[in-house]
Amino acid sequence: MSEDSVTSGSPSVGLAPRWRRVLMKMSGEALLGEQASGHDRKVLERLANDVAAVQALGVQQCLVIGGGNIVRGASLAGSGIDRASADYMGMLGTVINALAVQAFIERAGVPTRVMSAIPMSAVCEPYIRRRAIRHLEKGRVVLFAAGTGNPFFTTDTGAALRAAEMNCDAILKGTQVDGVYSADPKKDPAATRYDRLSYQKVLADDLRVMDASAIALARESRIPVVVFRVREAGAYAKVVQGLGPHTVIGGEE
């Protein structure tokens, strides 16, 4: 791990975290980094440093990593594999990602547990809600794998579901951009970033921050969804302290 990435991942001194327990969701594609497939070691190291920095703030963390770098059910379906089987393949991909991320977080000195919605006892723990809460209370980062355990869903919905079950104070959605914009900032230079947005506007304007069922679940549970740029070292710890660019969706409606 480079000295540089450890320093840049460190939180700012003296600022209390905004939340006691969070769930951070990032896509599997983010793990690709510069690679065409699999996992980029640099991305895994940066993520692990960021998780360690948030842990040092005393925040309990749940993580959900997607599987888009391995299999996306909807894309695979139709190529001779039925949709449900393709989705199960996608869910298995998220377990692979969770194990990769777990290895790097533990190298950074933070204890973890992977809990899968599809039981596979030789590989990781099955998801048991009360046990997951106990892990968090003991200071372990819990990685929720295999999404909801059901085909035709996404890891975004899995993330919102687990955040509700774990009584998380916020869902932190790490994306390629540093928040939600009025238009695509890559195409429209006049696009502006929202500081706050309602769940309703995200759904009505089809802003595609997370899928609609994930946003609806977050709204139901009154959990704010905070969108930030995950590729920037240290951004995760900053957003937990209320710093850096980000967009907050809902929470106070």
Please check whether residue 66 is in contact with residue 143, taking contact to mean a CB–CB distance below 8 angstroms.
no
Enumerate helices (H) and strands (E) in the chain, giving the number of each: 9, 9
Phi, psi of 68 (to 5 degrees): -60, -20
> Binding pattern to ligand UDP, positions 95-134, x when CB under 6 A?
----------------------------------------
Nearer to ligand UDP, 176 or 182 (CB): 176
Query: Is 174 among the residues that bind ligand UDP (CB under 6 A)?
Result: no
Query: Is 72 among the residues that bind ligand UDP (CB under 6 A)?
Result: yes
Please check whether residue 29 is in contact with residue 176, taking contact to mean a CB–CB distance below 8 angstroms.
no
Residue of 147, 174, 234, 250 that binds ligand UDP (CB under 6 A): 147
Residue of 127, 153, 228, 236 that binds ligand UDP (CB under 6 A): 153
| Start-to-end CA span in the chain (Å) | 42
Residue of 155, 175, 241, 247 that binds ligand UDP (CB under 6 A): 155
Give the number of other CB atoms < 10 A from CB of residue 251: 18
Torsion of CA 233, 7, 108, 148, to 10 degrees: -20
Q: Which stretch binds ligand UDP (CB under 6 A): 25-33, 99-107, 118-126, 135-143?
A: 25-33
Phi, psi of 135 (to 5 degrees): -60, -45
Residue of 148, 175, 241, 247 that binds ligand UDP (CB under 6 A): 148
Closest contact distance (angstroms) between CB of 242 and ligand UDP is 25
DSSP assignment string, 51-75: HHHHHHTT-EEEEEE--TTT--HHH
Query: Is 23 among the residues that bind ligand UDP (CB under 6 A)?
Result: no
Closest contact distance (angstroms) between CB of 168 and ligand UDP is 17
The residues that touch ligand UDP, with contacts defined as CB under 6 A, are: 27-29, 66-68, 72-74, 87, 90-91, 93-94, 147-148, 150-151, 153-156, 158
